[in-house]
């Protein structure tokens, strides 16, 4: 079992609310990622970080933002949620120096915006 | 464009039966290919990794194959169990550590 945790697991909110999805890992991994997953669709990378104070946007355009102030913590924030943000958000991490590219995933945060 | 296509999209089999899931990719250059298992409501977990020089690799009842010439991989599950019910995702790693995900095969094992 990977030591990577996401909260909340499920969230139902109204349009216009600000939300933060938390992701923490205790493995000391430098690389962390946020993916968006919709039913029947492949995972899409929305943000990644290769270390503290390093954040980059992924392949899928997203209105969310991320921060990486501590190695173990990589929260994702939506300033004003909309129904189009309804999705499953998966956080993952990987150790620097691992050439195989294995990703260790959290259990996901399922967001529903009404 | 790098693509990973998986088939079938979904599959229902009886407990105890075998099944094979397919993955075709167009990723180039090729670094490695992983199969992940994603239980409902959980994050994906790596089952096995295949590199360019490997043709077959087993992990318990799971056996993965790779044909780098035809850019195809398969995941064979032997003597399926109810706990095998999950989505199986093929992920190909290419140049510059770029990762391309397949859409997955949803497997349901019924008693």
Do residues A113 and A14 lie in contact, with contact meaning Cβ atoms separated by under 8 Å? yes
Q: Check pLDDT > 90 for residue B75.
A: yes
Is B18 in a helix, a strand, or coil? coil
- Terminal CA-to-CA distance of chain B, rounded, Å? 41
Average pLDDT over every residue of B82-89? 97
CB contact under 8 A, B99 and A108: no
Average pLDDT over every residue of B54-83? 96
* E strand intervals along chain B: 4-7, 10-14, 19-25, 30-38, 45-51, 56-59, 62-67, 72-77, 86-94, 99-101, 105-110
* Residues of chain A positioned with their CB less than 8 A from the CB of B41: 107-108
Could you give the percent of chain A with pLDDT greater than 90? 83
Q: Which of A35-44, A46-55, B56-65 has the lowest mean pLDDT?
A: A35-44
Closest chain B C-alpha to A41 CA, distance in angstroms: 5
CB atoms within 10 A of CB B51: 14
Q: Say how many residues make up chain B.
A: 111
Q: Which of B32, B41, B103 is the closest to A100 by Cβ?
A: B32
* Residues of chain B positioned with their CB less than 8 A from the CB of A106: 43
Do residues A73 and A27 lie in contact, with contact meaning Cβ atoms separated by under 8 Å? no
Q: Check pLDDT > 90 for residue B98.
A: no
Q: Check pLDDT > 80 for residue B74.
A: yes
CB contact under 8 A, B43 and A101: no
Residue A9 has a pLDDT of 96
Q: Check pLDDT > 80 for residue B84.
A: yes
Identify the band that residue A2 occupies on the pLDDT scale cut at 50, 70 and 90.
low
Could you give the percent of chain A with pLDDT greater than 70? 98
* Distant-in-sequence, close-in-space partners of B23: CB < 8 Å, separation ≥ 6: B4, B5, B6, B33, B35, B72, B73, B74, B75, B90, B102
Q: Which of A16-20, A95-99, A107-111 has the lowest mean pLDDT?
A: A95-99
CB contact under 8 A, A102 and B49: yes
Q: Check pLDDT > 70 for residue A101.
A: yes
Q: Check pLDDT > 70 for residue B29.
A: yes
Average pLDDT over every residue of A62-72? 93
- Terminal CA-to-CA distance of chain A, rounded, Å? 33
b (16+ CB within 10 A) / e for A70-85? ebbebbbebeebeeeb
Closest CA to A103 of A61, A43, A54: A43
Identify the band that residue A75 occupies on the pLDDT scale cut at 50, 70 and 90.
very high
Closest CA to B111 of B78, B75, B84, B76: B84
Q: Check pLDDT > 60 for residue A57.
A: yes
Average pLDDT over every residue of B14-18? 98
Q: Check pLDDT > 80 for residue A16.
A: yes
Do residues A2 and A27 lie in contact, with contact meaning Cβ atoms separated by under 8 Å? yes
Residue contacts between A and B (CB atoms, under 8 Å): 45
Closest CA to B45 of A28, A34, A105, A91: A105
CB contact under 8 A, A43 and B41: no
Q: Which of A2, A101, A103 is the closest to B32 by Cβ?
A: A101
CB contact under 8 A, A108 and B42: yes
Residue A97, chain B, CB below 8 Å: the answer is no
- Give the CB-side neighbour count of residue A23, counting CA atoms within 13 A: 33
* Residues of chain B positioned with their CB less than 8 A from the CB of A95: none
Could you give the percent of chain B with pLDDT greater than 70? 100
Do residues B90 and B6 lie in contact, with contact meaning Cβ atoms separated by under 8 Å? yes
pLDDT, mean over chain A: 93
Residue A13, chain B, CB below 8 Å: the answer is no
Average pLDDT over every residue of B87-97? 91
């Amino acid at each position: 079992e990977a030591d990577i945790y996401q909260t909340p697991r499920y969230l139902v909110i109204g349009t216009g609310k600000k939300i933060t999805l938390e992701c923490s890992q205790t493995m000391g991994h430098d690389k962390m990622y946020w993916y968006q997953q919709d039913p029947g669709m492949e995972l899409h990378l929305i943000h990644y970080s290769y270390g503290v104070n390093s954040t980059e946007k992924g392949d899928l355009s997203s209105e969310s933002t991320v921060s990486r102030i501590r190695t173990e913590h990589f929260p994702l924030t939506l300033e004003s949620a909309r129904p189009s943000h309804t999705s499953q958000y998966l956080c993952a991490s990987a150790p620097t120096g691992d050439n195989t590219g294995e990703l260790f995933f959290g259990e996901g945060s399922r967001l529903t915006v009404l | 464009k790098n693509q990973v296509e998986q088939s079938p999209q979904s599959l229902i089999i009886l407990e105890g039966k075998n099944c094979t899931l397919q993955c075709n990719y167009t990723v180039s250059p090729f670094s490695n290919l992983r199969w992940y298992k994603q239980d409902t409501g959980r994050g994906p977990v790596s089952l096995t990794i295949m590199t360019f020089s490997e043709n077959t690799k087993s992990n318990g009842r799971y056996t993965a194959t790779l044909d780098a010439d035809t850019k195809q991989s398969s995941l064979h599950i032997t003597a399926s169990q109810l706990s095998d019910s999950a989505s199986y995702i093929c992920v190909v790693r290419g140049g510059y550590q770029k990762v391309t995900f397949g859409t997955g095969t949803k497997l349901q094992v019924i008693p």
